[in-house]
Amino acid sequence: MTTPNTQSQHDVSPHTYAHAHAPLNLSTIALGFVRVAVCTPELRVADVAFNTKAICAAIDKACSHKVHLLVLPELCVTGYSCGDLLYQRSLHEAALQALEHIANHLAHLRQHGGCCDVVLGLPLHVAGKVFNCAVFIANGVVAGVVPKTFLPGTGEFYEERWFSAAWDSSVSAVQLGSKPQTKTGTVFNVPFGTDLVFTATTMPEYSVGIDICEDGWAAVPPSINAALSGATLLVNISASNEVLGKAEYRRDLVKAHSARCLAAYCYASAGAGESSTDLVFSGHCIIAENNRILCETTRFSFATEMAIADVDVQCMTAERIRNNTFGSSKPSKALRVVHIDAPRDYGTEGNQPSVKQLPAEVPVLMRPVNPAPFVPQNRDQRSETCQEIFDIQTTGLAKRLLHTRCSTVVIGVSGGLDSTLALLVCAHAFDKLALPRAGIVAVTMPGFGTTQRTRGNAEQLAEVLGATLRVIPIADAVRQHFRDIGHPESLHDITYENAQARERTQILMDIANQMSGIVLGTGDLSELALGWCTYNADQMSMYNVNASIPKTLVRYLVEWCAETEFAGAEAAILRDICATPVSPELLPLQNGSDGAEIQAQETEKTIGPYQLHDFFLYCTVRFQFPPRKVWFLARCAFREYDNATLIKWMTVFYRRFFTQQFKRSAMPDGPKVGTVALSPRGDWRMPSDASAALWLQEMEQLQRMNAEA
């Protein structure tokens, strides 16, 4: 049973500051997105001239897509599978010349308005040894060189035959080229070592650490030090051959490393152009962000393959701030920061939002944006998620019953989604404890707005489940209450609605006292976020199994129950409940032209679509995004809504989220099931009188920019 706010809230207007009317910068860079490409260029083994041309073509392609950082494979300048040709001085000289050519090519692109940073691999002579190196080229200048730490020497790998490991080096800088440092091309003294992290001075979130192939497979990859020193973009230039099962293991490794480091892991591997004498390379390139794969290339192609994604470095920084385990971890050694320029902000190019007005079209963002972040998109994964959530809910309730030595649960059932899910959880918990389901007292309390459809579904479901059904109409009791407080029944205001909600809660609590039971709450996470519940009515219970389940997920859970746990006689009832519009059913019914009853109250027409509010909630609480970024992502995710509609419901969300905190501060116990929860004893600690001024001010700026479009 869901009801509106219990008290009329004054309009909260943000204070006016000098900068309040300044337009918001809504470019992807300003919002924290860095465009990264991982690429396997076409390659011929030991044909440095051909490879250089292919690398430059890949750079041109990346720049045409406004990429900020391009990651290329291990030893891509020469080819990884050169074997003993790596002893040849001619190959090393050609590689250095190629590096200078590539750097000059990038410098030329920069002079003409488009350039990206590049990480690529080549062999390098340093102080009488040969190292397998990654070179970072920033703005057309070689910024630093990182040697490979772990050289594989087992199975099919023989790198120890040709290369020295990073710890065999005693130098901290290398000479590249024969001229002193210039503004373009290679430079005379370049930082060298595994202790380098490349960071933009004016955008510290853009910070890059480097692994080379086997480094990423080691127990302690070198890039962990970079991550703990601030790097949000970890790159791995690799040459990983293919054997059965290795691709999936590689994906898991890349995902896991991105999760461990709270970073993006950008992995580029050698392709099918490498020698096939004994091995085959597939060109598998992956970009993962905090345990989520954003994109990957097609394997086994001889043509240049590239995958591009906008990586949210701002989000990674926020994740690290809120994770005290990461924050308390220290790098095993101090790193040298190599200062580079921030990625170029392309502004209004490429359909990016203007800094003066909002665009009518959907912004371009090269990353998936899930419009239902609480709901897994894959059906099998969604089924697994539903099973786990249902088990968490059931176990939580079962533990509470064991602790209180209760064999009776009282639950108000309305025929709506929330009370249906709670009833199903209750039935499963009773089965788990071998308690008779007759101890579940399902109470339906028809009022002024109850339809035959919802009442019938509630009563039928309770009977089919074997619960004890009680039907207690509340109309007469509420009318008596109206007379007691002097409220006209014809005035359908908030008092009219909330009086019904409190009458129902009183009935449930008193029946629980009669039967030495507990009242099971049914309200969901979305209602708690918006305060769409009546204080000391459906907001209150003795245990709430739905407290951290968002509305967009409740429906899937009930559908899953109809397919699995309750697939018998209950299934048809559950499916009809899923097809019923969400309503608190508190206003009197109306009659249609055919005499049929019509529900006068639909929740989403009043407060907005739950799919939007759940999206806003996830972005705001899970990732702490500011309103401008939430709007931007919502615009990408919901093409069916225009700017004005999104701004309207976002404003409702922020206003209600702040003013309704007092209800969450007094919420009952309930199990956490996901990464977003609002219990004051768990994830969310917020003062009930916090001001929404900053957030509403930004919404006003978005509204003003949209009006000027």
For 465-475, how does the pLDDT look when each residue is reduced to its tens digit (9 = 90+)?
999 999 999 99
Rounded to whole angstroms, the Cα distance separating 705 from 491 reads 39
Catalytic pick among 213, 386, 533, 619: 213
Catalytic pick among 42, 63, 66, 74: 74
pLDDT for residue 392: 98
* Joined tokens for residue 48: 């440095």
pLDDT for residue 440: 98
* Joined tokens for residue 196: 């380098």
**Of the candidates 313, 166, 129, which has an alpha carbon nearest to the alpha carbon of residue 235?**
313
pLDDT for residue 589: 77
Contact criterion met (CB below 8 Å) for 597 and 619: no
Q: Going along 445-581, which residue ranges are E strands?
A: 468-471, 518-521, 543-544
pLDDT for residue 548: 96
Rounded to whole angstroms, the Cα distance separating 696 from 698 reads 5
- Residue type at 575? R
Q: CB-hemisphere CA count at 13 Å for 484?
A: 8
Handedness of CA 345, 350, 355, 358 (dihedral sign): negative
DSSP type of residue 10: P
Q: Which residues contact 154 (CB under 8 A, 6 or more apart)?
A: none
Which residue do the tokens 């309040």 mark? 20
- Catalytic annotation present for 698: no
Note the pLDDT tens digit of each residue in 240-268.
999 999 999 999 999 999 999 999 999 99
Q: What is the pTM of this model?
A: 0.91
Rounded to whole angstroms, the Cα distance separating 410 from 517 reads 7
User: Containing H/E element for 294?
Assistant: strand 292-296
Rounded to whole angstroms, the Cα distance separating 396 from 429 reads 9
- Catalytic annotation present for 640: no
**What are the b/e assignments for 201-229, b being 16+ CB within 10 Å?**
eebebbbbbbbbbbbbbeeebbbbbbbbb
* Joined tokens for residue 564: 């699995």
Q: Which residues contact 321 (CB under 8 A, 6 or more apart)?
A: 327
DSSP type of residue 532: -
Cα pseudo-dihedral 312, 313, 314, 315, rounded to 10: 60
How would you class 483 by CB atoms within 10 Å of its CB: exposed for 0-12, middle for 13-18, buried for 19 or more? Answer: exposed
Q: Which residues contact 193 (CB under 8 A, 6 or more apart)?
A: 146, 147, 166, 169, 171, 172, 336
Which residue do the tokens 């209800």 mark? 663
pLDDT for residue 588: 82
- Catalytic annotation present for 74: yes
Collect the ranges in the chain with pLDDT lower than 50.
Answer: 1-16, 18, 181, 183, 348-351
Rounded to whole angstroms, the Cα distance separating 340 from 430 reads 62
Catalytic pick among 148, 255, 551, 629: 148
Domains and CATH numbers, the chain: 33-346 (3.60.110.10), 379-707 (3.40.50.620)
CA distances from 51 to 45, 143, 272, 465 (A): 8, 22, 13, 69
**Chain centre distance of CA 98:** 40
Which residue do the tokens 């001024």 mark? 693
